[in-house]
């Protein structure tokens, strides 16, 4: 059934129209239009590193077991979030390196990394090594972090200026990309290099794809002009996301970039339960513990679903119909159960 659905998703539908000439004669040459099929979306899974630390279960082994299970169930990517003091969790690059050794197929991504907290020369070296260890499976999701007191304190703790985080991130990533060429780099900016290089270079020529997070207009523009994909955490309404996605695509085209090479992705939070009331209670409790903010406020900008599997399928399909090609799922509740439940949902959708 799954193979049949995939075959149908990849088939081009051909429409043939014969031109009717004067005197009712038929031109024997058919005019053919082809409609490009919409590919099945890739599905990612966020490892619960934040929850593990919050709940006093910091051991990495269970997280790596979940990564293996997700790959075995057919998930396409494994993701790890980032925060040092604001929302403590496992360091993402280190954990993804461990996951690279326990998996063979899935992409390995950051959701999302905060580059402004890190020295870009060190970061370039780390990411290049991770990309070599995983044989080119890295996706670098990046962001600037929310404007809240705990994030301000986090930036101060590592000696990074919060108010300059956008420029710091953009310059730092440009420096990473320069170093990923393997050529000697001269740089005179926030950092200074004089004909220096790092090794190894990434497995993927030029380095991993970079996806920019955020849903504000400036974030859309930043992703369209500088990155290889757009990776927001919301909104919950797929139609609104679709409008934003078309805005991003327009800006990608206006910048002279290839829209077909640009990825539309989403970071989605779900709690699946036959009881919608129970699912939403689980999700709200999870969000409030995770962010230390009211769930109602968080749901205004984060894409969240709580309810039965059938409703989850319909909700997710809405984003794919709007053009999303990679969905990363964060589960609230039992992860083994959710991994298995969503595998069934995916099969029902023919993805």
Report if residue 236 sits inside a domain: yes
What's the confidence (pLDDT) of residue 120?
98
Q: How confident is the model at residue 317 (pLDDT cuts 50, 70, 90)?
A: very high
Report if residue 43 sits inside a domain: yes
Report if residue 252 sits inside a domain: yes
Question: Between 134 and 38, where is the model more confident?
Answer: 134
Contact 134, 100 (CB under 8 A): yes
181: containing domain: 39-349
Q: How confident is the model at residue 17 (pLDDT cuts 50, 70, 90)?
A: very low
Residue 187 carries which DSSP code?
E
What's the confidence (pLDDT) of residue 37?
62
pLDDT in tens, 97-132: 999 999 999 999 999 999 999 999 999 999 999 999
At residue 30, does pLDDT exceed 50?
Answer: no
What's the confidence (pLDDT) of residue 15?
28
Closest CA to 270 of 44, 6, 5: 44
Report if residue 25 sits inside a domain: no
Report if residue 12 sits inside a domain: no
- Counting residues of the chain whose pLDDT is more than 90, the rounded percentage is 89
Contact 234, 215 (CB under 8 A): yes
User: Model's pTM, two decimal places?
Assistant: 0.89
Enter the tokens of residue 79.
Answer: 């993701």
Report if residue 102 sits inside a domain: yes
In terms of Cβ atoms closer than 10 Å to its own Cβ (0-12, 13-18, 19+), residue 288 is middle
Report if residue 171 sits inside a domain: yes
CATH number (domain holding residue 213) = 3.20.20.30
Report if residue 3 sits inside a domain: no
At residue 226, does pLDDT exceed 80?
Answer: yes
Closest CA to 83 of 108, 58, 118: 118
What's the confidence (pLDDT) of residue 9?
42
Q: How confident is the model at residue 38 (pLDDT cuts 50, 70, 90)?
A: confident
Task: Give how many domains the chain has, as a whole number.
Answer: 1
Q: Alpha carbon of 33 to those of 17, 59, 307, 350: distances in Å?
A: 9, 56, 41, 25
């Amino acid at each position: 059934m799954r193979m049949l659905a995939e075959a149908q998703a990849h088939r081009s539908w051909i429409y043939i129209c014969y031109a009717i000439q004067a005197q009712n004669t038929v031109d024997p040459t058919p005019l053919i239009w082809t409609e490009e099929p919409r590919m099945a979306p890739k599905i990612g899974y966020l490892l619960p590193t934040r929850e593990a630390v919050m709940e006093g279960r910091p051991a990495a082994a269970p997280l790596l077991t979940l990564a293996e299970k997700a790959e075995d169930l057919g998930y396409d990517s494994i993701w790890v979030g980032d925060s040092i003091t604001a929302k403590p969790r496992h360091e993402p690059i280190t954990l993804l390196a461990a996951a690279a050794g326990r998996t063979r197929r899935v992409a390995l991504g950051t959701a999302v990394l905060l580059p402004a907290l890190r020295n870009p020369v060190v970061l370039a070296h780390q990411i290049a090594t991770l990309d070599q260890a995983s044989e080119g499976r890295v996706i670098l999701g990046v962001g600037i972090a929310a404007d809240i007191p705990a994030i301000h304190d986090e930036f101060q703790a590592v000696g990074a200026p919060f108010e300059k985080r956008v420029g710091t991130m953009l310059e730092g990533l440009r420096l990473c990309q320069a170093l990923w060429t393997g050529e000697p780099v001269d740089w005179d900016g926030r950092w200074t290099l004089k004909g220096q290089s790092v090794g190894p270079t990434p497995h993927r020529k030029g380095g991993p794809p970079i996806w920019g997070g955020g849903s504000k207009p400036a974030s859309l523009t930043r992703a369209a002009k500088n990155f290889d994909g757009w990776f927001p955490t919301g909104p919950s309404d797929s139609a609104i996301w679709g409008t934003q996605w078309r805005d991003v695509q327009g800006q990608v085209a206006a910048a002279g970039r290839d829209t077909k090479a640009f990825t539309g992705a989403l970071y989605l939070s779900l709690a699946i339960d036959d009881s919608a009331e129970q699912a939403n209670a689980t999700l709200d409790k999870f969000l409030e513990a995770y962010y230390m903010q009211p769930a109602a406020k968080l749901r205004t900008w984060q894409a969240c679903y709580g309810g039965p599997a059938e409703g989850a399928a319909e909700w997710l399909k809405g984003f794919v119909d709007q053009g999303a090609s990679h969905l990363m799922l964060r589960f609230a509740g039992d992860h083994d159960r959710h991994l298995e439940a969503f595998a069934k949902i995916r099969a029902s959708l023919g993805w």
